[in-house]
């Protein structure tokens, strides 16, 4: 029971400390899951982020589910998922009752504007960290640049980019092996 409580508390802490949704949670997930708890390594966490992006739902919730399931099976996945969403449910329930009363106040609007900027920086930080760990050679640089261009120019599902990137990685690696 103690291990499930630790899992719940860890993900609840992640959930309560994050504004801005799943992408903003990535740096906090990275710090807690990888660096503090050592529940996943960099490669696993990057895979969880990628799969979490392709599956329905919020990336942080999906990642929590994957980590919990890896550690303690289906029940671990459920506990981690409940942990990461629980604080948001409580906070949103409280704010929903109060926000209409205070939304016209200038300082409330300014506070949310400041929070949005902070969320952008958190997401950028997560992207930079993932970029440094993922783009490691010419092959991955080409894939990155193509996905970046496609993501900016096309309006398609991230699943398409993940599948095409996986196929490109396989093909390019096979070509590299044949040349060697």
DSSP secondary-structure letter at 180? Answer: -
- CA 16 – CA 25 distance, rounded (Å): 10
Q: DSSP letter string over 14-76?
A: HHHT--SSHHHHHHHHIIIIIIIS-SS-HHHHHHHHHHHHHSSS-HHHHHHHHHHHHHHHHHH
Question: What integer pLDDT is reported at residue 19 of this predicted model?
Answer: 64
- CA 7 – CA 85 distance, rounded (Å): 13
Least confident window among 10-24, 29-43, 63-77: 10-24
Q: Which two tokens stand for residue 167?
A: 């196929």
pTM of the model: 0.60
In three-state secondary structure terms, 156 is coil
- CA 162 – CA 143 distance, rounded (Å): 10
Q: Rounded to the nearest 5°, which phi and psi values hold at 155?
A: -110, 75
In three-state secondary structure terms, 1 is coil
Q: Greatest CA separation found in the chain? A: 68
- CA 11 – CA 15 distance, rounded (Å): 6
Any residues with CB less than 8 A from the CB of 116 and at least 6 apart, and which? 20
Question: What integer pLDDT is reported at residue 22 of this predicted model?
Answer: 63
Question: What integer pLDDT is reported at residue 18 of this predicted model?
Answer: 66
DSSP secondary-structure letter at 105? Answer: S
* pLDDT above 90 for 120: no
Question: What integer pLDDT is reported at residue 52 of this predicted model?
Answer: 80
Mean pLDDT, range 76-84, rounded to an integer:
94
């Amino acid at each position: 029971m103690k291990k499930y409580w630790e899992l719940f508390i860890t993900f609840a802490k992640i959930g309560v400390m994050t504004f801005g949704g799943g992408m903003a949670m990535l740096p906090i997930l990275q710090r807690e899951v990888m660096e503090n708890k050592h529940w996943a390594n960099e490669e696993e966490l990057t895979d969880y982020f990628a799969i979490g992006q392709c599956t329905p739902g919020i990336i942080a919730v999906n990642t929590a589910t994957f980590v919990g399931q890896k550690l303690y099976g289906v029940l671990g996945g459920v506990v981690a998922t409940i942990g990461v969403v629980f604080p948001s449910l409580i906070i949103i329930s409280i704010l929903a009752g109060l926000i209409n009363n205070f939304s016209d106040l200038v300082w409330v609007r300014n506070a949310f504007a400041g929070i949005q900027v902070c969320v952008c920086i958190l997401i950028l930080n997560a992207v930079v960290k993932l970029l440094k760990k993922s783009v490691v050679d010419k092959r991955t640089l080409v894939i990155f640049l193509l996905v970046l261009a496609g993501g900016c120019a096309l309006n398609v599902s991230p699943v398409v980019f993940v599948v095409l990137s996986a196929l490109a990685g396989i093909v390019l690696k096979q070509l590299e092996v044949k040349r060697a």
